[in-house]
Amino acid sequence: MPEKVLLAEPRGFCAGVEMAIKALTWMVRIFEPPVYCYHQIVHNQWVVKAFEQVGVIFVDDIDQVPEGAPVMLSAHGSSPEIVLGAARRAGVVIDAVCPLVTKVHHEVKRMADQGFDIIYVGHDGHDEAIGTVAVAPEVIALVQPETGLAGFNPSDSSKVALLAQTTLGIHEWQSVLNDASQRYPDLWTARKSDLCYATTNRQEAVQQLSDRTDLILVVGSENSSNTQALVRVAEEAGTAAHRIDNAASIQDEWLISARVVGLTAGASAPDHLVQEVIDRINPSDGFELFSVTDEEEYFPLPRQLRGFLSALQAAVEGGFTARAPGRSGLLENDRDWTATEALQLIRP
């Protein structure tokens, strides 16, 4: 039975998820329910349910948003067509796309404009992949990491670009990159891969944990791509691993022969679920942090929301009190509160 839990650092919420959760929290505090959200704000069932309980309706079809309603677009990024459709229907549209997904959208646009054929390594049907492919569908080929480049035939092999979903497994990306580099010597790819810092840091921690643990548990939802990638990284490194939604998902037989358990969480999993898992495992020697790096990244709230909040603040202050010079307001304080605190605010 477990003597110790090694708790990965970093784990859980990334800067993009922090921003998206805080942005949707603002939406439910500003507007009367229902507030609409195109796609799950982040891929975590607990977070989605928490927002549903305070009147957020998640839709997979923008036509389900009533005319004039407030709508948020999810952190995974939406196609240009959805962004336009939302602008036509909704009263207020706030796009909570992660800036690191937007960066990939810009790369697609730039390479397509320069006449490149684009290989996009991603998971078919994932929200991020759907939104990114839709930026230039006529020149982009979605390549699944498992199947590789079979079937990709560029019109000019000297003009091929290779891009990726931000949450891929590092080994999956590396394998397609190696293959594409050999086939296309002039291959263009981003100087630092499209895999985001949160993906690579969490995978690095799991990679190192796998040498020190008998079992790795990854807290996160089934539809969370980066969570699934963490499980695959652990397995690839030779350590048994399971994705769990929460403490109740743990099966007793997993723990029988595990002396040291590694524990981490996908980028959209709230940390209280991780703490509950430690309580459930109840290791005889307690838990220790296992840190591979510090994360300092911070993404400001979406531009449209900042404009909205500034206007609101000016109206409130204009009506009741003069704003003291230098006094911090709603936006200046954004760095000082976390998505975890935001979720506590909306919990019934």
How far does Cα 99 stand from its chain's mean position?
11
Q: How far is the CB of 143 from ligand SF4 (least distance, A)?
A: 19
Phi/psi of residue 161, nearest 5 degrees: -115, 145
Q: How far is the CB of 74 from ligand SF4 (least distance, A)?
A: 10
Q: Does 128 qualify as catalytic in the annotation? A: yes
- Residue number, 303 or 327, with CB nearest to ligand SF4: 303
**Of 51, 116, 43, residue with least CA distance to 75:** 43
- Residue number, 94 or 196, with CB nearest to ligand SF4: 196
Catalytic member of 128, 146, 317, 332? 128
What six digits make up the tokens of 143? 């390549």
Q: How far is the CB of 99 from ligand SF4 (least distance, A)?
A: 7
- Residue number, 160 or 265, with CB nearest to ligand SF4: 265
- Residue number, 45 or 313, with CB nearest to ligand SF4: 45
User: Would you give the end-to-end CA distance of the chain in angstroms?
Assistant: 37
Q: How far is the CB of 193 from ligand SF4 (least distance, A)?
A: 12
92 CB-side CA count, 13 A? 22
Binding residues for ligand SF4, rule: CB under 6 A, are: 14-17, 75, 98, 100-101, 166-167, 196, 198-199, 226, 267
Cα 101–102–103 angle (5° rounding)?
90
Q: How far is the CB of 165 from ligand SF4 (least distance, A)?
A: 9
- Residue number, 159 or 232, with CB nearest to ligand SF4: 232
Distance CA 315, CA 114 (A): 46
Task: Spell out where the chain has E strands.
Answer: 4-9, 35-38, 56-59, 70-73, 92-95, 117-121, 140-143, 160-164, 188-189, 215-219, 240-244, 260-265, 287-291
Residue nearest to ligand SF4 (CB): 16
Just list the catalytic residues.
128
